[in-house]
Structure 1
Amino acid sequence: MRLSDASVVIRPRSSWEAMDLGVLMAREHRQLLMSSWALVTLPVFALITALLWKYPSTAMFLLWWLKPAFDRLPLYILSKALFGETPSLKQAVRQWPRLLNGQLLASLTWRRFSLSRSFVMPVSQLEGLDGHSRQKRLGVLLQHNAGAARWLTIIGAHLEIGLWFGCMALFYLFIPQQVELGWDWQRLALSTSNEALWLEHLSNAFYALVLVFWEPIYVACGFSLYLNRRTVLEAWDLELVFRRLRERLSSVAPLMLLLIAMTLLPFSPSAMANEAKLPSPASASQSIKSVLENPPFKNPETVTRYRFDGEKPAAENKPHGDGKLPAWLQALLDNLNSNAFKHVAQGLEVLLWSLLIAGLALVVWRYRDWLQTFVSRRGPPPNVAKPAPMQLFGLQLGTETLPEDIASTAEQLWASQPREALGLLYRGLLSRLLHDFNLPLKSADTEGQVLDRVHQLQQPQLLAFSNELTQHWQNLAYGHHLPPASVQQKLCSDWRALFSSGGA
């Protein structure tokens, strides 16, 4: 790896600037990255779909789960392209099976849910570290930029979902209106049979296409974060500066050596230094003794109290502002760091997690009906047959309360009790609708709602008779207007014609 051959400027960057560099790298090699990703992932996706045709959700889950295995290919391409060794499409695709050899099982199991996956993936693939050495390396790398890597994964997941829904919405907009009119979307969405399989597999295909566009960008951003962290740790920018300086000086090095040699040549005969006057032994001994009697060699101190062995003397006249905390504050912090407060902190942590879980459970329970309606894949509950109402509008509808020949009985009642005669016909109509036509009438239905349900039967003769009888019944019940004699006879005749001579 020659840093001087790097295709990008090697310098320390902020986390977000480093990820922006990753986007630029992905854009620079977008054709190679997207085409290689498509050639590797789409055949695998087609194979999974064919094998799990009846389980589209499982097929999509497997495609999502295998993303770390697919991510190794764009990382390989970017690592080669960084130093000017960009592989061809054929070389990259051929290299992918070899890239799966190292630590694939770990990448697909306990490391699969790591939010820093794109940031730490080069440690395993490019540096080849594993085990304890990998953990030590990650301990150094994750001291910085780990938060940005986690945010990259979180934002990337939301972006994937947004692009996925956008593709499905775009597909819906391109459906011709004539074709769409014949589709029952609610039935397709709630169906659990083979009718909805093609729709789910189509949505899976949209997700696979979204990954072709987004996943190389995600890998490039994580790789750029890794490069930025190594630049800071290993001072790659300074190394490049020194290398350039060495290259500049290599051409003028002989001239500089010549100048240095000329400056060292003697131009005059060397002169003997004058002999320095040496001090006498007595004065030298006195000087040494005076030095040893003073600090830092000797520090005399007068103590007027008992002091235990190992106790440090209290500092007197200690100047303020020495950067140390007051004694009471230091004691408080020491108490907070004690084991007792650690147990209290653990208890508070357990309490907070319990409150969070309880809150989530409360939200799920509060909106359980909404979740069952819009989230659950199960179809609507089967319709349970409800017992027919025995009374409507204050009228008894049981067959045992009606005479055998309703029309004849009504004719006998017209002269003396017209209200009971018309009520008998209306009761008979409602009873017929309930028991013969199985019309789902409810005790809270109005006359208009009953007519709407009769209209759904698509029987014009029954609908016309029901409209006429209901109108006269309402005029009598609410307006106290009796129907004329001709209408009375017509209602009885229509009853016989409609219900086979009036048998109840």
Structure 2
Amino acid sequence: MHSPPRARRAAHAATVCALATALAWPASLLHAGERVTAVQVAEAASALRADPLLGGTRNEPTWRLRRGGSDPGANDAASTLGWVAKLAGWLAEGGRALAWIIGAALAAMLLVTARRWMQVRGAAAGEQALGIPSHVRDLDIRPDSLPADIGAAARRHWQAGERRAALSLLYRGALSRLVHRHGVAIGAAATEGECVQAARATVAGDTAAYVARLVAAWQFAVYGGHEPGDAAVLAICDEFEARLG
């Protein structure tokens, strides 16, 4: 007849207690023949671990702080943060360099613009100081308002049937050349006759005679309603650069 499990557990517990008492008892109180050896202790411990009533052994996982090791995830995060920091530094340096380049370009553009503006303003101020008009009556005599080859342009107008435009261009061109290239003093309100008189007082005789001929052709067409012949006008066109260039 077998003893109940509770009784067996009690018996084993008593055995364990006895073994613990024997191990804890001072060795000096035991006789030489009764000394417990390490082998006996190990065998008793193995028997206890093998007993199913005592539960055997268990392995329980526990968490413990590792020292001296490295976390791969932390290393990856640190590497990513370092790369981002380097990229931000490169972008900052590039932005500063780009800002310097743009600033230098803007400064150069402003300098060139200011220089050109000063030149134009200075030229205009010089002309005003010398009494050089930009217009004589309602005719624009500024050089930049006229073609480079005035005689050739007037010839094209005349041959295209644009008689008034051809004569107007010749007269405006003559006044502009007299004022800006030959230094003839012509006022803004000067009449055709006054312009011819100013030319005769300043330029050579053949040039003054050419100017008188050109002005007469203009006056006949504008005031008299009589257009000069083709030969006369084309001759004036062909001589323009030679006389007033």
TM-score (normalizing by structure 2):
0.45
- The structure having more radius of gyration, on CA atoms, is 2
Of Structure 1 and Structure 2, the greater helix share is in: 2
TM-score (normalizing by structure 1):
0.22
